[in-house]
Structure 1
Amino acid sequence: MFNIKENQTTVKKEILAGMTTFFTMVYIVVVNPSILSGTGVPFDQVFTATIIAAVIGTLWMALSANFPIAIAPGMGLNAYFAVSVVGSSNGAVSYHTAFSAVFTAGILFIILSLTPLRKQLIEAIPANLKYGITAGIGLFIAFVGLRGAGIITANEANLVGLGNLRSPEVILTLIGLAFSVVLMVMNVNGALFFGMLFTGLIAFFTGQLSFEHGVMSMPHLPEKLIITNPLTAFGDVIHYGLYSVVFSFLLI
């Protein structure tokens, strides 16, 4: 089915490659709900939805395209969703409304993918702009992470100030970051995952991490779909003028 012999590989090699890919990207299962929960979306629901999206996307890529690529929600758009779209609106745009923009961008992307226009748009974007978007997303994610860890804080004088480097949260972050960087330099597969695991263990034994409700539970999903009527989603985009938001989602 997967043309193992034709691709000059083995089942063992593919299983090891799949496990390596899993450990490299599984951090998104925790990070994605951590970011989106700041907008009011329940953490456990985003946690479950992230896993479902990764399972469906990866299986679709494997069974339909026969391509060894794992699919999961990526970093960048989630931070943009939480900080720029919802967070900077001062309550004017709820996460429900922001999801309308996400839904609209998804519909437009599907339509573009079914036409030659998608390829033409990708080729029309200059290479330096593509690199700039990639670097900008990386810097934005780093900024959000540093702010969440307390390494940088808001400052009235110059907007951004240095946080309390003696706080337990900052020290834990720096230790975990240093450990992850060392593993990445050593080309250890799954360096980010092992860095998260190492940091989590330190946090647990220092009392910064606790499991009040246990370590396992049944998955939680919303009682109903947030987007049930496409016309309502399109109407939200028009009513709140979220055209630039839709364009940003679609472009990235």
Structure 2
Amino acid sequence: MEDFLRIFGAVASTSLFAALLGFGLAIAAKKFRVVKNPTLEKISAALPGLNCGICGYTGCEAYAEALSLEKESDTRKCRPGGQATIDEISQILGIESSAGTKRMVARLACLGGTGIAVQDFSFQAYEDCESLKLHFDGDKGCKYGCMGLGSCIKVCPVDAISKTDNGLVEVSAARCIGCELCVKVCPSGVMKMIPADTDFFVACNSRDKGKLTKALCSAGCIGCRICEKKFPESGFQVEDNLASLNYNKKDNEGRMEAAQACPAKCIIQAGSKTLLKT
């Protein structure tokens, strides 16, 4: 009988403790429960979830929260989501949708692959462009070109960048979402953002004087100004020894002729490969 009472007492005290603990947890859950914001959840679901930060926020959740709490009114900041995301968020918020910004894609401004650009030494270490940059600003004579080790490939969230067979990288314009992560990670600044619908592109990043550029890379812009002077309506302009294209210029008259007249052939059609065959 005494053993039975001991067992009964232990079971009763344990049950009482469990009941009190459960009651306390129920009160705490009610008091500290997080009230879900249905608008926040809908906007979060509409965003691509890449957390690239191009919107200016730390991630998609932060941008969604700012929109849901009306701390942010611009629904066009998610460039990777495109117009479809803008329309969906606008519908959730009950506001009129607006046209998004022009679609931008990444493009490699370099043609200096194997056999095209002078290589000073062979880098045998961890494949990281920043690491190579710390060694004499890179292994090529031109310090503005692509190092080809693929740091941009590692950060691309949609696998739009790949290595080529001549020591460079290339971007698939169709897959690029314009997050600019590759631009931020590139130590030589050779990855550029250009309008997705542009027709031509200057595939060079060198600011060296023409004579030096020509000695270091057979496909480098020498700043000769042929594109600018002979074809003034084309939109090409030369500054700091490097040609560039004014993408805001609507008229593209003379661009093909300028590309053909370029002695280095570094003005290429945007839909073509950024590579020269060796």
Bin for the TM-score computed over the shorter chain: under 0.3
Q: Select the structure with the greater relative contact order (CA < 8 A; seq sep ≥ 6).
A: 1
Give the TM-score taking structure 1 as reference length: 0.26
Answer 1 or 2: which has greater strand percent: 2
Answer 1 or 2: which has greater helix percent: 1
